[in-house]
Structures are given as C-alpha cells and as structure tokens.
Amino acid sequence: MGDRPNVIVFFTDQQRWDTTGVHGNPLDLTPNFDRLAQRGTHFNHAITCQPVCGPARSCWQTGMYATQSGCFRNGIGLPTDVPTLGGCFREGGYQTAYIGKWHLYASEDHDDHAFGPVPESHRAGYDYWLASNILEFTSEAYSTTMYDKDNKPVHLPGYRVDAQTDAAIRYIDSHHGEAPFFLFLSFLEPHHQNRLDDYPAPDGYRERYQGRWIPPDLAELRGSTHQHLGGYYGMVKRLDEALGRLQDTLKSLDLADNTVLMYTTDHGCHFKTRNSEYKRSCHESSVRIPAAIQGPGFNSGGRIDDLVSLIDFPPTLLDSAGLPIPHTMQGRSTVPLVRGEAIDWPEEAFIQISESQVGRAVRTKRWKYGVDAPGKNGGQDAGSDRYEEQYLYDLEVDPYELTNLIGRSSHVEVADIMRTRLIRRMVEAGEAAPEIVPAVVKGHGQRSITAAEARQ
C-alpha cells in the first residue's frame, strides 16, 4: 500500500487555456503551472467534452459522457448507481476527500437550487467532505462557507482561493500516512461571482492586469472583455500562487515524489462573445482547457500534442494508481500515450453542448465542425435525431475561430468528412446516429481544399 501514489486533482472553474505561459500568455500569470507542465506531462490540446459546469463535473466523477450519465445540464443530480472516481479510489484502499464546489446534487423534489449541503448518499465515494453544492451561492470572494461531513456550515477566513487551499493543506498534513489519499480540490475561481456578474480578484490584482494582453478573439469580438478580463487574470494569478503553496506542502512533507498532481479545469470562458454569457458554446474559448500532470509515471513526459479529452482524465488517474478502470468509463487512460505505447489514439475530440442549445461538435488538430438542433430546448432535451450544420473553422490558419467556413463551396469536402466523423463519435458515445442537414453551399471563389487537407 505504501508504494501507491497519492493523487490530487487541482480543479479550477472556467479557465481559458491561453491564460497559461506554456500557451503563450505573456503576463506571467502561471509560473507554477508552467513548471508543472514542463517538468511533468503537458496535454497541449486538452478539450472538455461538455462546456457547462455540472455536466463537465459529471464526466469527471463518472467517466461517462453527460448524455450517458443523464447529467446533460446543470441541476441534475449525479446518479448513485454507477461507479464513480471517488468510489473506485475508496474501493482500492485510498482515503478519499473532496474540498470545494460540487454542483452535482439535486434534492429529491428536483430543486435545482440545492445550493449548500450534500447528503452523504450523494457524495460519490468521498469520505472526507468539505464542500458546497453550488459554491458561488454560498460564498463571496472574502466570505467562504462550505459544509462538513455532518452538513454543518464551516466558515473559512481569507480570500476564497486561499481558504480552500488552507483546508487542503490541513487535510494533507493530517491524513498522509500508510494509506494513500485521493484529494479532489475544486475551486470556483476564475468563474464569475453570479450575484455581481463580475470577476472579483484579490484586492489589488485586478488593477495589476487591467488593460493588458487581450487574446485575439476577445480583442475582435469584445463582449464584456474590457470590463472583466483584468479581474479574471487576477483570479488566475491567485490560483497559480495556491498551486505553488500546495506544491510546497508536498515537498515539505516529503510527499512530492510519490504524489500524482493534476491541474485542469471544467471549461473555458468567452466573455459574452459567442452567446449572452461566458461558456456553453463549442468554440475554442469554451472548450480548450489547460491540463498538466506530474508525479510517478508522468515526470518528464513532455508535451503531448495528441488531442486529449476531459473524459480521458478519470481513467488516467485510476491507471496511475494501479486501480481497475470500470467498463462504464468511456474515455481512455493517457498513461500509454505518455509512455509512447498508445495504439489507435483518437484523432478527434467529441463535444456535447446543452442549455444554450442542443449541439454537438468534433475537433481535429486542424478542423472544428459543429452542428445545432434549432427545434430543441437545451435545458430540456439531452439530444436530437436531427441537426443542422452550424460552423466549420480551420484552426491551422484561424486558431481563434473568427471566420466560419461552413457552406463555402471550397470546403464542402471538409464538411462531408467532418460530418461522418461527428456521427461516428456520437454513436461511440452512446447516442443514436442522427440526420445532419448540410448547410446551403455558396461559392466564394476560393481554392478548394484537397482530400488530403480535408482529412487532417
């Protein structure tokens, strides 16, 4: 038992991939993440499979696509009859702990506003518990309330990121020992504070980054960028400082060499440029996420340029601990990929979208193709038997998706190939093969894409 690694997930909320230095952000927001990525394994093209808070979390905890677990939108409770990540670690002899935002409980009367306590029966295998179902509604930036295993409120001092990090450090200090631990540390930041529709960074941090570097999509499309980006960057900076404190804790307790530490998020943020709020779209700003991992089996893994999905992370962590992966989990462990032993790794990532629309998308290294079911309600319908083509982007020349190529005569063959890929991935995820109505083709006088280019 003593040889098994501890496992920690450092999980942020709504963090764009390009907030990190390894992805080109020039503001030095994430030196600790960047070192983790450079010394461990960096998943350079990590994609969420559901850019909505609750559904993405359901994918993490079950390893199943949101349509398979039933948690296709916010406000649907995690099923209690499927294997979960926490349950698998507990059955494998691990101490299990969850600290932070849960967002996977709905009360028996299906109240979507079960903000705070989560009954023990709905904690998915986590023994130690200090959490809030919807943390943004039970806390503010400098006033954090979560609930312990007895569902008693616990008020934590300090800025919210620091309050949660302090709690995690206390847990690690008191629970490391003969039995390994699995800790899922789930932050709210850099998600907006709902009541304010704002990004409340620590005092002084917003001012540090206001008016600084703006990603090209936000510079072009604007949205709420100029109002919110400074605070958002400040929140990312404080998260990275918290990551450094956690790494210091592991080093000081002589746990660093035997702890798998993964940093990632649920989805990104587009600042009201793609719809009326911050995510719930299949654009890169919503679906591309930072992801890196270090520890036994991952140190010096380098940069992985294959497309990796959030759905692959639960089996990865179980594999890293030598634990069996339930057959219900639909992703693949990245451990063989890191070792250079992966066979037939998928060439695309599959994305489901709910609430703002009923949509689906597939992304290769070069192309992004998305469809929409305009007659469906994203808050009520998990899927559709009929979709219409919505967009096609060439990420090689347009990485921030500013030119939609769907319906252009020059890209018909690309759309045909991507349509086939999307239907195949939908079926593999457990959905029925739908009808996808092609866009009306219009000539634009451009060079037609060759078959070889279309298949990239």
Tell me the per-residue pLDDT of 85-144, one tens digit each, with 9 for 90 and over.
999 999 999 999 999 999 999 876 555 457 899 999 999 999 999 999 999 999 999 999
Q: How far apart are CA 347 and CA 288, in angstroms?
A: 16
The mean pLDDT of 27-55, rounded to a whole number, is 97
DSSP assignment, residue 150?
T
Does 398 score more than 80 pLDDT?
yes
DSSP 261-274: EEEEES----TTSS
Report the SS3 class of residue 391: strand
pLDDT, tens digit (0-9, with 9 covering 90-100), for 413-444 = 999 999 999 999 999 999 999 999 999 998 65
Q: How far apart are CA 246 and CA 232, in angstroms?
A: 21
Does 449 score more than 80 pLDDT?
no
- Binning pLDDT at 50, 70 and 90, where does residue 1 land? very low
Q: 10 Å Cβ neighbour count for 221?
A: 18
Compute the C-alpha angle 122/2/262, nearest 5°: 55
Are the C-beta atoms of residues 351 and 361 closer than 8 Å to each other? yes
CATH 3.30.1120.10, the chain: domain bounds: 357-454
Q: How far apart are CA 455 and CA 418, in angstroms?
A: 8
Are the C-beta atoms of residues 320 and 5 closer than 8 Å to each other? yes
pLDDT, tens digit (0-9, with 9 covering 90-100), for 261-295 = 999 999 999 999 999 988 999 999 999 999 999 99
The mean pLDDT of 303-318, rounded to a whole number, is 98
Structural domain 357-454, CATH architecture: 2-Layer Sandwich (3.30)
Q: How far apart are CA 387 and CA 322, in angstroms?
A: 41
Please give the single-letter amino acid code of residue 272: K
Which of the two residues, 449 and 121, has the higher pLDDT score? 121
Does 336 score more than 90 pLDDT?
yes
The mean pLDDT of 300-314, rounded to a whole number, is 97
- pLDDT score, position 24: 97
Are the C-beta atoms of residues 22 and 198 closer than 8 Å to each other? no
The mean pLDDT of 189-216, rounded to a whole number, is 96
CATH topology of domain 6-339: Alkaline Phosphatase, subunit A (3.40.720)
Compute the C-alpha angle 150/105/185, nearest 5°: 70
Does 2 score more than 70 pLDDT?
no
In the chain, what percentage of residues exceed pLDDT 90?
Answer: 92
- pLDDT score, position 382: 96
What is the average pLDDT score of the chain? 94
Which of the two residues, 454 and 161, has the higher pLDDT score? 161
- pLDDT score, position 450: 59
In the chain, what percentage of residues exceed pLDDT 70?
Answer: 95
CATH 3.40.720.10, the chain: domain bounds: 6-339
Joined tokens for residue 314:
């639960």
Joined tokens for residue 264:
């990632």
Which distant-in-sequence residues (6+ apart) come within 8 Å of 308 by Cβ?
A: 43, 45, 46, 47, 291, 334, 337, 349
- Binning pLDDT at 50, 70 and 90, where does residue 342 land? confident
Burial environment of residue 435 by CB neighbours within 10 A (0 to 12, 13 to 18, 19 or more): exposed
